[in-house]
Chains A and B, each alone.
Chain A
């Protein structure tokens, strides 16, 4: 509807920020140059989601991606890395089109981690806030201590090996 184009955003990389907000919370923020309805679509349609969730540079294969995006609906992602597979699964708790998604991560034994994603549109751009609430301080500490970065600590050791090898140059010596 709005025909004002303004200056078409020059391709500029937006900054990704990560903060451990409390003993149990981890927050990722990033602005995406697009309206919330399109960003939301990319998070909720499996064929779109699978194109970006596993960055190409990480050398992982997403074998399957099933997402039943509605309250109570389940999802399951199966990854393959060097011959072994890893499953990630959980349940959607809230699905509010274009503004909010909440799901559980149930693959870890230590309890559920709850992920809340909010989509906040402003002037054609969308501020994404990905908030992970771990079941306990110990669970988040353990995720950090084990080195896994998947938000799903126990099942990601192999992924971690890969990440470490990819990022060891830039990580703290």
Chain B
């Protein structure tokens, strides 16, 4: 799975190394577009554009969805959004942990109080 992560980065960099693909990302930043429209815009064959989109898709930069016969492309989660989403999930995990920790500490406090009373009596 380390390999997966390494590959993930290589794929991202590979995807951005190509001028056409950077152009496609810019284009999708303005509006979602079908593969056909992108092929026309960049004066390419449909097959050629499909390949580029597929590279971007594998890198997690673009997502595609087929509606009817048209495959629409849009920007995937950007790195910063991805990071913000991850941090929020991580925060929720810790928040849930701390809620349970609160209960444990509450219990210890009560126990200590009870023990204290016993000692005084």
Shortest CB distance B41–A (Å): 27
Contact A16 B95 (CB under 8 A): yes
Q: How far is the CA of A128 from the CA of B95 in the complex (A)?
A: 12
Stretch at the interface among B28-36, B64-72, B102-110: B102-110
Q: How far is the CA of A157 from the CA of B2 in the complex (A)?
A: 11
Q: Which A residues are CB-close (under 8 A) to B1?
A: 146, 153-155, 157
A147 with B109, Cβ < 8 A, contacts A32-B98, A32-B101, A58-B96 known? no
Q: Which B residues are CB-close (under 8 A) to A53?
A: 97
A97 on the B face (CB < 8 A): no
Number of chain A residues close to chain B: CB under 8 A = 50
Q: Which B residues are CB-close (under 8 A) to A57?
A: 96
Contact with B along A87-126 (1 / 0, CB 8 A): 0000000000000000000001110000000000000000
Contact with A along B71-107 (1 / 0, CB 8 A): 0000001000111111111111111111111111110
Size bin of chain B's contact surface? 35 or more
A154 with B5, Cβ < 8 A, contacts A18-B94, A34-B108, A42-B105 known? yes
Q: How far is the CA of A163 from the CA of B81 in the complex (A)?
A: 17
Chain A residue at minimal CB-CB distance from B83: A144
Q: Which A residues are CB-close (under 8 A) to B26?
A: none
Contact B8 A28 (CB under 8 A): no
Contact B89 A167 (CB under 8 A): yes
A32 with B105, Cβ < 8 A, contacts A38-B112, A56-B100 known? yes
B42 on the A face (CB < 8 A): no
Q: How far is the CA of A164 from the CA of B81 in the complex (A)?
A: 15
A110 with B91, Cβ < 8 A, contacts A32-B98, A144-B83 known? no
Contact with B along A133-157 (1 / 0, CB 8 A): 0000010011011110100011101
Contact A18 B90 (CB under 8 A): yes
Q: Which B residues are CB-close (under 8 A) to A172?
A: 77, 81, 84-85, 88
Which residue numbers of B lie inside 8 Å of A, CB to CB?
1-2, 4-6, 8-9, 77, 81-106, 108-109, 112
27 A-B pairs within 8 Å (CB atoms) are namely A16-B91, A16-B95, A18-B90, A28-B90, A28-B91, A32-B102, A33-B106, A42-B105, A42-B108, A48-B108, A51-B103, A52-B103, A52-B104, A54-B97, A55-B96, A56-B100, A110-B5, A141-B9, A144-B82, A145-B9, A146-B4, A146-B8, A149-B93, A163-B93, A167-B88, A172-B81, A172-B88
